[in-house]
């Protein structure tokens, strides 16, 4: 009777106690769930156990090894054949961590200890000859108590490990040899708040007293409802109030300490339903006080206050996720995330509410609402949608009250709503893709504003999407559309359209107007258009244009401006399709923020400023907040509770209460910036692995914080992987690192969300690698973690090697000194002999220089004589005013010369090329010039051919025929006789022709193919032909030697040739004669390049002008 009273009192007390802390628990279950399987890198979907260690890693025990999860990757430790430092077996049953950070792993074939400092496993096995070893290699459970003692449960024994003596002490609990249940699932060790050690087996619940080394056993009694519901114990858990929960093969039990009895939570008393009469494998309690129960048939959540229970399907309806079965372990990590070890993989459930909630709340995914515009005040709330018309919302809950569309009553002619604005005097203005409508709240009617008034014969907004409204003073309304800007005065019932803005100096044309806003006083209006941003002062007609083509400070990143914000303190923000432009007064220009600076997307659809001056930005890839004071950008995506990734142009609204609304393709989000709950937890930073390559062999190590890691000097590549162990959204965690030689100060390199860094060809030495990181909400762990990396110095660079090198260098210098001394003596002897020889050579060189100067002076004197013999420039200009003479000797003196004379109104002009060049050519040219002079004096006929005959005769007579050798050298001559009065030209040529250019055609007057020369082998019998030509106005005549055509040059080093020469003359013949001479010289210089001139060059050009 006394026991029954105790039991009744305890039940009543427990009910009252449990009801207190759970009153008002949050019922909002917008949890985020993710399942990890082989696709996500999990080595084995069947997870037997899991823990979170003191550093924040998740450790999973599977049938295929020990698995570590760092937020990005699963790294598996397995048994390696013949490696005694590897895991003793791959089937992991239990994991525990001691206070030194060592992991103890119970396997099917021994006990392993993972020593982080050494980075290896130490293994313990049963030894037949050692009674102080493990009693059995089949380890079912390991546990670290509050005194840091290791307890091990084998099939039949409870064992305590003495680390100082390295021995195991064995305790045998009660065991029913006739019970054939598998001991694997029925061996659990637990310590409660009273430091009582509990052991659950297939044969009941045992309370162990270490001082007396005795067990007290609790068993199932079919006749006693206050006994255990089953002897097969699978799990033990103590909640925050000290209540001990026992999971058995037949449901859940509560241990009542005072009565030393049990309360069974099974059907029909317990509200689990029919599926709960099954094995309970795991129990955990979340931060809200709920108990999570893992069974063979699924996952359940229990409210201890009222014993209400919900299954996984009831908690997460419509997720499309499979039911979780075969739950072997449950863990609530440091951040409050629930982790489930199941037979289908690792399940992550974030129990914390998201930062945002999407509206409207529609369970049917096919009924998603694409919200394109929003208007909210204290008494009404409206949302414009695409394809679903206008939604009237409850202004407090934002539930849908009415849906006005083309199919509703009253009906709205267009279902594509694009802009909303409310004016108390008129009603709700509704901009659509096909018309401007006005809603009268009192009459609850819609009308097309323009077509309903007989004043307007044209609907400006037909098939013209309205993007925005902006109200100025006196109830005036600016309207931005796909095709132009409109100014509406509802009181006067007047409207004006603008396709450009202009004043006396500038006009800016545009089509689409996406956004309109004004400064605080509405002195300036800002129009975001498809041609940039236009700043407009209506009173002064002042216009400032910002676009991509402008110079600073008016240049922005794009001409497509979707949004504009004139914020506090004269700040100006421009949202474009290529990023956010922020005007910086100090720099007098715009800075551009893009995805590279942390924005979720580059298309900026809407901008709103909160009460603290921070800027909220909706994009094509999520929402962002720019903190004005720190410059930090925080990005949000659907995992934070956003309606989706994509928002809509201009779909944003701010209420007087500082609430912000942003509409997108799946609804809208409403929030007060101060109410957003950010993740405040500072994550622990760990270095997961270091992978390095030596001689094409890759090695992976697991370093410990602060540890010194040695690397061979041949290390060419090193990759370091690290994590911020906050699993909320690991993909949003950010990192920074520096690498510096020891004793030097490093500079932080910010990696963004990248969690690896690679180094190549580090030189030998000692380095400090430091890394820090943040959680998903940019809360940084500034302390971070570090490693000392030592690249070993090869022997030939060690101190001993340097001393040896110094000795070798000193010895080499001494030997070099001896060799040098010997060499200097020998060199001195040779130099003495050379000095004597050089004196003789210098004397001879001096004599040669004197002789060379004498010869050179003689040649220059000969040149002066040659120049004196030739006609003067003044004489030439008098006889032939429109002419030029281009002569370019190869050497100082020339073998080419020209001769000019005048008699009886006729002008004689000859271009002569003597055989040879230099001094021989010059001598021949003086002889030739004298022959021309004497022949002209003795010749009285006006016949060019006969003149050359006479010249050839005199040349032959001048040279004696008694010589024993032939003189085959001579002169190539082009001779012209100009009779300007008769407009006639006579030409005779020896080898060299005459070119006449008339009417853009070149006429070649060929010469006879024999020179002015003499040879004793033949008689002078040949006669030169006299050619008579009629001259015309602007005829261009050219006489020349072969020097120009024979010059080598060009890219291939070939001759210029006559074809190219004729083409050149055709190109320049219309130029003034002096320019022709200059052009010929430049063309020759360009053609010749660095090659030597091969012959003397002579070109004479005469332009026929009868007026001079």
Q: List the CATH number of the domain containing 777.
A: 2.60.40.10
pLDDT at residue 1100 above 80?
Answer: yes
Closest CA to 112 of 61, 55, 188: 61
Mean pLDDT of the chain: 88
Q: How many domains does the chain have?
A: 4
Model confidence over 376-410: pLDDT tens digits?
998 999 999 999 999 999 999 999 999 999 888 88
Q: What integer pLDDT is reported at residue 287 of this predicted model? A: 92
Give residue 409's pLDDT.
84
Q: How many helices (H) and strands (E) does the chain have?
A: 8, 80
- 1021: which residues sit within 8 A by CB, 6+ positions away? none
Q: What confidence tier does 10 reach under pLDDT thresholds 50, 70, 90? A: very low
Mean pLDDT computed over 560-567 = 94
At 1083, the pLDDT band (50, 70, 90 cuts) reads very high
Looking at the fold, whether 666 and 733 belong to one and the same domain comes out as no
For the segment 287-313, the average pLDDT, to the nearest whole number, is: 89
Residue 730 lies in a domain: yes
pLDDT at 11 over 50: no
Residue 458 vs residue 871, higher pLDDT: 871
The CATH code of the domain that includes 48 is: 2.120.10.30
Q: What is the mean pLDDT of residues 7-20?
A: 35
Mean of pLDDT values over 482-490 = 93
Residues 335, 32: Cα–Cα separation, whole Å? 14
pLDDT at 180: 66
pLDDT of residue 758: 95
Question: Are 581 and 562 spatial neighbours (Cβ–Cβ below 8 Å)?
Answer: no
Q: Which pLDDT tens digit goes with each residue over 572-613? A: 999 999 999 998 877 788 899 999 888 999 999 999 999 999
Torsions phi, psi of 950, nearest 5?
Answer: -65, -40
547, pLDDT greater than 50? yes
CA Rg value for the chain: 52
Q: Greater confidence, 785 or 893?
A: 785
In the predicted model, is pLDDT for residue 803 greater than 90? no
Of the candidates 1027, 1025, 995, 1029, which has an alpha carbon nearest to the alpha carbon of residue 1010?
Answer: 1025
What is the reported pLDDT for 939? 85
Residue 1026 and residue 891 in one domain: yes
Q: Would you place residue 843 in the very low, low, confident or very high pLDDT band (cuts 50, 70, 90)?
A: confident
Mark whether 332 and 421 lie in a shared domain.
no
Per-residue pLDDT, averaged over 770-791, amounts to 94
Classify residue 813: in a domain, yes or no.
no
Answer whether residue 657 shows pLDDT above 60. Answer: yes
Percent of the chain with pLDDT over 70: 92
Say how far apart CA 814 and CA 671 lie, in whole Å: 86
Query: What is the model's pLDDT at position 861?
Result: 76
362 pLDDT band (50/70/90 cuts)? Answer: low
Residue 643 belongs to a domain: yes
Write down the pLDDT at residue 455: 61
343 and 378, same domain (yes or no): no
Domain span at residue 997 reads 870-1103
Please name which of 23, 1, 74 lies closest in space to residue 44, comparing C-alpha atoms: 74
Is residue 914 a part of any domain in this protein?
A: yes
Query: Is the distance from CB of 412 to CB of 401 less than 8 angstroms?
Result: no
**What is the predicted pLDDT for the residue at 705?**
67
Report the pLDDT value the prediction gives residue 361, as an integer from 0 to 100: 73
Mean pLDDT of 114-142: 92
Token pair 């430790």 is found at: 77
What local confidence, expressed as pLDDT, does residue 962 receive? Answer: 42
DSSP letters spanning 64-126: TEEEEE-SS-EEEE---TT-TTS-S-S-EEEEEE-TTS-EEEEETTEEEEEETTTTEEEEE--
- Listing from the earlier edge strand, what are the strands of the sheet with 542-546? 513-518, 525-529, 532-537, 542-546
Record the tokens describing residue 147, joined without a space.
């005194």
Residues 960 and 1089 in one domain: yes
φ/ψ (deg, to 5) at 27 = -100, 0
**Where residue 561 sits, what CATH number does that domain have?**
2.130.10.10
Together in a domain, 699 and 619: no
pLDDT score recorded for residue 25: 28
460 and 525 fall within a common domain:
yes
Q: Give DSSP secondary structure letters for 1006-1035.
A: PPBS--EE--TTS-S---PPPEEEE--TT-
pLDDT of residue 605: 97
pLDDT in tens, 715-764: 989 999 999 999 999 999 999 999 999 888 889 999 999 999 999 999 99
Q: How far apart are CA 1 and CA 145, in angstroms?
A: 37
CATH number for 1055: 3.60.40.10
Output the pLDDT for position 784.
94
330-361 burial, b if ≥16 CB within 10 A, otherwise e?
A: bbbbebebbbbbbebbbbbbbbbebbbbbbbe
Q: Which tops the pLDDT comparison, 697 or 618?
A: 618
Q: Quick one: pLDDT band at residue 684, thresholds 50, 70, 90?
A: very high
Which residue did the predictor score with more confidence, 18 or 530? 530
Residues 489 and 522 in one domain: yes
pLDDT of the residue at 1016:
55
Last residue of a domain, one of 793, 814, 846: 793
Instruction: Specify whether the CB–CB gap between 187 and 141 falls below 8 A.
Output: yes
Whether residue 714 is predicted with pLDDT greater than 90 in this model: the reply is: no
One-character DSSP codes across 544-596: EEEBTTSPTTSB-S-S-EEEEEE-GGG-EEEEETTEEEEEETTTTEEEEE-GG
Which of the four pLDDT bands, split at 50, 70 and 90, describes residue 968? low
Do 929 and 1018 lie in one domain? The reply is yes
Cβ-proximal residues to 557 (8 Å cutoff; 6+ apart), any chain: 548, 576, 578, 579, 581, 590, 592
Average of per-residue pLDDT across 856-861: 76
Binned at pLDDT 50, 70 and 90, residue 174 comes out as confident
Q: Which of 644, 675, 706 is the last residue of a domain?
A: 675
Residues 1005 and 965 in one domain: yes
On whether residue 360 sits in a domain, the answer given is: no
- Which range has the worst mean pLDDT, 653-657, 823-827, 1054-1058? 823-827
CB 1047, CB 1095: distance < 8 Å: yes
609 with 701, same domain: the answer is: no
Question: Per DSSP, what are the bridge partners of residue 902?
Answer: 907
What is the pLDDT averaged over residues 996-1006? 94
For the cut 60, the answer to whether the pLDDT of residue 24 exceeds it is: no
- Is 772 part of a structural domain of the chain? yes
Q: Looking at the domain assignment, is residue 865 inside a domain?
A: no
Q: What pLDDT, on the 0 to 100 scale, is given for residue 410? A: 86
Q: Which of 636, 651, 675 is the last residue of a domain?
A: 675
Nearest to 574 by CA among 514, 633, 657: 514
The full 3-state SS of 646-698, as one line of letters, equals CEEEEEEEECCCCCEEEEECCEEEEECHHHCCCCCCCCCEEEEEEEEEECCEE
- The candidate with the shortest Cα–Cα distance to 416, out of 458, 368, 465, is 465
Confidence of residue 4 (pLDDT cuts 50, 70, 90): very low
On whether both 982 and 912 belong to a single domain, the answer is yes
| Residue 97 covered by a domain | no
The DSSP bridge pattern shows strands 1027-1030 and 1097-1103 to be unpaired
Q: What is the pLDDT of residue 13?
A: 33
**Does residue 178 carry a pLDDT above 70?**
no
The percentage of residues in the chain with a pLDDT greater than 90, rounded to a whole number, is 61
Mean pLDDT in residue range 1089-1093: 91
The answer to whether residues 952 and 1012 touch, using CB atoms and an 8 Å cutoff, is yes
Rounded Cα distance between 129 and 985, Å, is 135
């Amino acid at each position: 009777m006394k026991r029954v009273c105790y039991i009744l009192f305890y039940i009543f007390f427990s009910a009252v106690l449990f009801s207190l802390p759970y009153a008002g628990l949050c019922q909002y279950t917008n949890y985020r769930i993710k399942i990890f399987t082989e696709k996500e890198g999990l080595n084995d979907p069947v997870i037997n156990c899991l823990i979170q260690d003191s550093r924040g890693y998740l450790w999973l025990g599977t049938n295929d090894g020990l698995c570590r999860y760092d937020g990005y990757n699963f790294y598996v430790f397995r048994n390696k054949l013949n490696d005694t430092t590897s895991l003793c077996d791959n089937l992991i049953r239990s994991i525990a961590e001691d206070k030194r950070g060592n992991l103890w792993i119970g396997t099917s074939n021994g006990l392993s200890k993972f020593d982080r400092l050494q980075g290896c496993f130490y293994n313990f096995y049963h030894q037949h000859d050692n009674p102080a070893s493990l009693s059995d290699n089949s380890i079912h459970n390991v546990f670290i108590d509050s005194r840091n003692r290791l307890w091990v449960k084998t099939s039949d024994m409870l064992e305590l490990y003495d680390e100082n003596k390295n021995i195991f002490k064995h305790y045998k609990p009660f065991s029913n040899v006739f019970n054939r249940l598998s001991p694997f699932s029925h061996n659990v060790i637990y310590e409660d708040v009273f430091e009582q050690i509990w052991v659950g087996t297939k044969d009941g619940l045992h309370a162990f007293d270490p001082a007396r080394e005795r067990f007290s056993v609790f068993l199932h009694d079919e006749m006693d409802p206050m006994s255990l519901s089953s002897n097969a114990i699978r799990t033990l858990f103590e909640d925050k109030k000290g209540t001990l929960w026992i999971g058995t093969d037949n449901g859940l039990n509560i241990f009542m300490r005072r009565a030393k009895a049990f309360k069974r939570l099974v059907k029909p008393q317990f509200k689990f339903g029919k599926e709960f009469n099954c094995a309970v494998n795991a129990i955990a309690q979340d931060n809200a006080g709920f108990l999570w129960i893992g069974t063979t048939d699924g996952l359940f959540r229990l409210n201890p206050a009222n014993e209400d229970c919900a299954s996984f399907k009831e908690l997460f309806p419509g997720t499309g996720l499979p039911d979780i079965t075969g739950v072997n372990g449950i863990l609530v990590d440091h951040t409050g995330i629930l982790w489930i070890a199941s037979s289908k993989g690792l399940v992550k459930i974030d129990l914390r509410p998201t930062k945002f909630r999407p509206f409207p709340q529609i369970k049917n995914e096919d009924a998603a609402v694409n919200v394109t515009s929003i208007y909210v005040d204290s008494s009404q709330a409206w949302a414009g949608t695409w394809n679903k018309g206008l939604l009237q919302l409850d202004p407090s809950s934002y539930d849908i009250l009415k849906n006005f569309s083309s199919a509703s009553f009253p009906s709205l002619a267009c279902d594509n709503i694009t802009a909303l604005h409310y004016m108390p005097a008129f009603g709700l203005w509704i901009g659509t893709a096909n018309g401007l409508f006005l809603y009268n709240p009192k009459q609850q009617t819609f009308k097309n504003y323009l077509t309903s008034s007989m004043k307007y014969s044209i609907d400006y907004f037909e098939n013209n999407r309205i993007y925005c409204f902006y109200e100025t003073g006196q109830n005036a309304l600016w309207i931005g559309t796909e095709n132009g800007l409109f100014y509406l005065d509802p009181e006067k019932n007047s409207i004006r359209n603008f396709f450009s803005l202009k004043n006396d100096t500038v006009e800016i044309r545009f089509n689409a107007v996406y956004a309109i806003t004004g400064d605080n006083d509405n002195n300036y209006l800002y129009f975001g258009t498809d041609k940039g941003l236009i700043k407009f002062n209506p009173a002064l007609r002042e216009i400032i244009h910002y676009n991509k083509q402008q110079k600073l400070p008016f240049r922005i990143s794009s001409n497509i401006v979707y949004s504009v914000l004139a914020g506090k303190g004269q700040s100006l923000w421009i949202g474009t399709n290529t990023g956010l432009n922020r005007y910086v007064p100090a720099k007098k220009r715009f800075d551009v923020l893009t995805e590279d600076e942390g924005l979720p997307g580059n298309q900026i659809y809407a901008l709103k400023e909160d009460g603290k001056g921070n800027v909220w930005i909706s994009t094509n890839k999520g929402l962002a907040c720019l903190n004005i004071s720190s410059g930090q950008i925080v990005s949000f995506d659907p995992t934070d509770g956003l309606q989706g990734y994509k928002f809509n142009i201009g779909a944003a609204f701010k209420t007087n209460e500082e609430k912000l609304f942003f509409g997108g393709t799946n609804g809208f989000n409403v929030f007060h910036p101060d109410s957003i709950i950010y993740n405040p937890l500072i994550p622990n930073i760990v270095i997961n692995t270091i992978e390095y390559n030596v001689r094409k062999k890759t090695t992976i190590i697991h370093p410990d914080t602060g540890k010194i890691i040695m690397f061979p000097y041949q290390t060419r590549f090193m990759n370091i992987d690290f994590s911020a162990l906050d699993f909320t959204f690991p993909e949003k965690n950010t990192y920074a690192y520096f690498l510096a030689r020891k004793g030097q100060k490093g500079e932080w390199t910010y990696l963004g969300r990248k969690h690896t860094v690679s180094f190549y060809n580090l030189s030998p030495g000692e380095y400090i690698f430091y890394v820090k990181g943040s959680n998903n909400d940019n809360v940084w762990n500034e302390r971070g973690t570090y490693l000392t990396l030592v690249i070993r110095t090869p022997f030939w660079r060690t101190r001993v090697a340097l001393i040896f090198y110094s000795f070798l260098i000193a010895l080499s210098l001494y030997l070099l000194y001896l060799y040098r001394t010997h060499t200097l003596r020998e060199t001195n002897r040779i130099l003495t002999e050379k000095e004597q020889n050089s004196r003789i050579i210098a004397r001879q060189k001096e004599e040669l220089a004197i002789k060379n100067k004498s010869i050179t002076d003689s040649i220059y004197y000969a040149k002066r004589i040659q120049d004196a013999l030739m006609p003067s420039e003044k004489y030439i200009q008098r006889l032939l005013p429109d002419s030029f003479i281009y002569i370019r000797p190869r050497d100082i003196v020339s073998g080419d010369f020209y001769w000019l004379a005048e008699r009886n109104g006729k002008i004689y002009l000859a271009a002569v090329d003597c055989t040879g060049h230099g001094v021989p050519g010059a001598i021949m040219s003086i002889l030739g010039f004298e022959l021309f002079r004497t022949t002209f004096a003795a010749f009285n006929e006006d016949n060019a051919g006969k003149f050359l005959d006479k010249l050839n005769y005199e040349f032959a007579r001048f040279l004696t025929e008694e010589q024993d050798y032939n003189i085959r050298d001579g002169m190539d001559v082009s001779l012209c006789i100009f009779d300007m009065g008769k407009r006639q030209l006579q030409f005779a040529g020896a080898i060299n022709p005459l070119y006449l250019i008339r009417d853009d055609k070149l006429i070649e007057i060929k010469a006879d193919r024999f020179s002015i020369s003499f040879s004793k082998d033949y008689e002078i019998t040949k006669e030169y032909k006299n050619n008579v030509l009629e001259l015309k106005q602007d005829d261009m005549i050219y006489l020349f030697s072969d020097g120009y055509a024979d010059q080598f040059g060009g890219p291939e080093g070939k001759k210029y040739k006559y074809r190219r020469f004729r083409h050149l003359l055709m190109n320049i013949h219309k130029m003034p004669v002096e320019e022709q001479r200059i052009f010929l010289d430049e063309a020759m210089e360009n053609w010749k390049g660095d090659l030597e001139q091969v012959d003397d060059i002579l070109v004479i050009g005469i332009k026929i002008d009868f007026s001079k």
